[in-house]
Structure 1
Amino acid sequence: MTPLVALAAVAAWHAAFQLAVSTLAYPTLLEQPADRFADAHDRHSRRVLVLVVPTYAAVLGAAGWALASGPRTAAVLMAVALQGVVLLLTALLAAPTHGALGRRGRTPALARRLRTVDAARSVTAVAGLVAAVAALA
């Protein structure tokens, strides 16, 4: 496998993971009744780590490999940058929002923030996939 094939494969994995969170996990979580939300959020937070850790590790590994081995074309740089933006959105916005949901429970503002940040992560992950595929050409 070449670094660019690895980048495209991981970008596809990352986009699929992010779309599954956006279309399945978060809607299910946010639809929980108020009296069951805290427990559902705790279970979600524990269970999703099994997917988040290897996905983000693969993103970092493939991006690093692609950058280290070159060529650093515009498409490669864009693909890596977009993957990085998803990780930053997660670290700076989604994770703190989950922390607030865990501490305060679901509020309309926190649910809206989580949906908005997650939509941005999904769009960015898909754009990263498009750039990674373009880097193969």
Structure 2
Amino acid sequence: MSKDGHELVLRIPKEVAYGKPVLFDYDALMAEYAATKLYYQSVNHAVQGAAPDFYQFYVSADFTYTLELFGDAPLSLHAMTKEQASQVGVQVGEIYRKTDQIRHDVEGLGYLIWTDDKKLQGSLNGDLHTVRIM
């Protein structure tokens, strides 16, 4: 599948995982997929092109999926020199540092949850940018 000349990845949740049935949980799926979309948007706001810039999802009891741009060929870390691997680490670290500075406007902090009235929110009250760690 492709969009505007780019390959897309369609993911449909399994009905059975590790030999056990996977029960449909609307709120859990919405939290997971909305958080992924927010993360991709935040990363790309910090460093354009560092995450897929197309991500859509749909959640219902009848049919659930995510659709996103394919991320290109994977890096072959075992084939890199120590210097090349170190440079990749520096680049990834820079992406994380810049992404950490992006305000996301999600209320609360901690494990992300979904409710229809508040949408995506943290499971704990508070603001990450005002919390002091001792």
Look at both structures and tell me which one has the larger radius of gyration over its CA atoms: 2
Q: Which has the higher helix share?
A: 1
TM-score under structure 1 normalisation? Answer: 0.31
By percentage of residues, which structure has more strand?
2
